[in-house]
Amino acid sequence: MKIRLNHYLSNAGISSRRKSDKLIQSGYVKVNGKPVSRLGTIIDTNDIVTFNGSKIKIKKKIYILLNKPKGYITTTKDPFNRKTVMSLIPNLYKYRIFPVGRLDCSTTGVLLFTNNGHIAEKLTHPKYHIKKIYHVSLNKEIKNEDLYKIRNGKIFLKEGKVKVLFVKRNSRSKHKIKIGLYVGWNKIIKRIFKKLDYRVITLDRVFFGGFSKKNIKIGKWCFLNKKEVENIIIK
């Protein structure tokens, strides 16, 4: 079967297609023993592909959905020996899975793991407009005028104007908020409310790119099959 080289690298879990192009241009990729640096190169899946001297091959695709608890950082390794989300899904290192996107240490909720670089890119690249929904608990009741500012694009952060899909107050508790947005700027939710002089007490991502944590207890995870992922992401 014929396949683009960058797609092959992505399916082998090396990196996303976009980043694979940079690896190809760097000269670290060889096909049947010959260096390949031309973008758009087509290979056969039976060809021998090496990256940085090591043979690679397309791996079985793994998809895991975790309801992340507090106290874990979203990375595969940590030089300071802090707890990472990888410790919550043991015995799966052989598949070279990695968390998609980031939730900071104190944030809970939906987190996807995979070894499919193409899917990871679709969930994180801004051009795909991936929807995210958060439940936010603040240190005090939010004012109507502040809700108006968030809802109508009156908040500016260093990256620019913040555009949200919606923001609404919990009908039973005025210090609890539900907010949806496409942008994935670093710690954007906490920075939005800090700009308005509120402090985020708890932050929970309940929806991410079509995935929900429904029926998954905090700290628990489940496998997703290829069809489930494709139905949500691959349009």
Three-class secondary structure assignment of the chain: CEEEHHHHHHHCCCCCHHHHHHHHHHCCEEECCEECCCCCCEEECCCCEEECCEEECCCCCCEEEEEECCCCECCCCCCCCCCEHHHHCCCCHHHCCEECCCCCCCCEEEEEEECCHHHHHHHHCHHHCCCEEEEEEECCCCCHHHHHHHHCCCCEECCEECCCCEEEECCCCCCEEEEEECCCCCCHHHHHHHHCCCCEEEEEEEEECCEECCCCCCCCEEEECHHHHHHHCCC
Question: Which is the catalytic residue, given 78, 104, 146, 204?
Answer: 104
Whether 104 sits among the annotated catalytic residues: the reply is yes
- The catalytic residue positions are 104
